Amino acid sequence: MTAVLEPGGYDVMRSNKMVEFEAGDVVPLTLIFESAPSQTVAAEIRDN
């Protein structure tokens, strides 16, 4: 299965955050997969 993070599709929600985010901030996000190595990407915070 391929998952694409795009408007109108899947999204990522963060709980237990330690700092407040604002739209436009860029934060590191580590994706953990069952059958592939973890990957850290830069994620832009967007306001819906």
Q: Is residue 38 part of a domain?
A: yes
Sorted by sequence, the CB contacts under 8 Å of residue 22 that are 6+ apart come out as 45
Structure tokens at 18: 């330690």
Q: Is residue 46 part of a domain?
A: yes
Sorted by sequence, the CB contacts under 8 Å of residue 4 that are 6+ apart come out as 10
Q: Is residue 4 part of a domain?
A: no
Question: Residue 9's pLDDT is what?
Answer: 82
Q: Is residue 2 part of a domain?
A: no
Q: Is residue 13 part of a domain?
A: no
Q: Structurally, how many domains does the chain consist of?
A: 1
Q: Which domain holds residue 41?
A: 21-48
Question: Residue 13's pLDDT is what?
Answer: 76
Query: pLDDT tens digit string along 1-48?
Result: 677 878 888 877 777 878 888 999 999 888 888 899 999 999 888 886
Distance CA 41, CA 11 (A): 14
Strands (E), 1-48: 26-31, 39-44
Sorted by sequence, the CB contacts under 8 Å of residue 6 that are 6+ apart come out as none
Q: Is residue 11 part of a domain?
A: no
Q: Is residue 14 part of a domain?
A: no
Q: Is residue 47 part of a domain?
A: yes
